Chain A
């Protein structure tokens, strides 16, 4: 088990372009979360999947953002028409089992850093 992996680790793009990030959770982890973290801030919740179902979406997730988790395995986060304010670290985390069993231990990837010029 290699942990949560995210790709790409760094992405530089021009304003208005679309970008897509991929997250591969730990095998068999049914829960997957996306967060955004800017310098000096805590991770901001974006969205949550249980298996393939997207169960929660933050108000931060504007209509330019879309996330998918087909087949309940890897997940993608797409940002359309990027803006400079989208520059941040995008974090993916996964966890397994019922919530009261694993009691909230999220395993985080190292993140995908987005820079919008």
Chain B
């Protein structure tokens, strides 16, 4: 079985500051890990993903995440926050077959001017 835990339901950062959104996973099989973003009144869209290979993955809009097996973590970072980054961010995990695909409870990011 797979699950993810997102630490911090709300995160506020100043514009230009580092963004760090935390995600820990639990999986009985090698996981596929994802970050999705949901802007207000819009559907979810894929930000980045880890399947195999390089543990540091880069996504859209300057975001990246690092898969750390020893820490069972997949934290999302961005060096410099923009106002347009304000959204809800969801970490997700799946098996390598895709039969199960589970989301975390989400982290709401607020960017302060």
B98 touching A31, Cβ below 8 Å: yes
Interface 0/1 of B98-110, CB less than 8 Å to A:
1111111110000
A104 touching B106, Cβ below 8 Å: no
B104 touching A103, Cβ below 8 Å: no
B103 touching A103, Cβ below 8 Å: no
B43 touching A109, Cβ below 8 Å: yes
Interface 0/1 of A35-59, CB less than 8 Å to B:
1000011111100101000011000
A45 touching B101, Cβ below 8 Å: yes
The distance from the CB of A55 to the nearest CB of chain B, in whole angstroms, is 5
CB nearest to B108 among chain A residues: A40
Cα-based distance from A109 to B43 in the complex (angstroms): 6
Q: Which residues of A come within 8 Å of B, CB atoms?
A: 31, 33, 35, 40-45, 48, 50, 55-56, 91, 93, 95, 99-100, 103-106, 108-111
Q: Can you spell out 6 A-B residue pairs with CB atoms less than 8 angstroms apart?
A: A42-B103, A55-B99, A99-B97, A100-B96, A106-B101, A110-B42
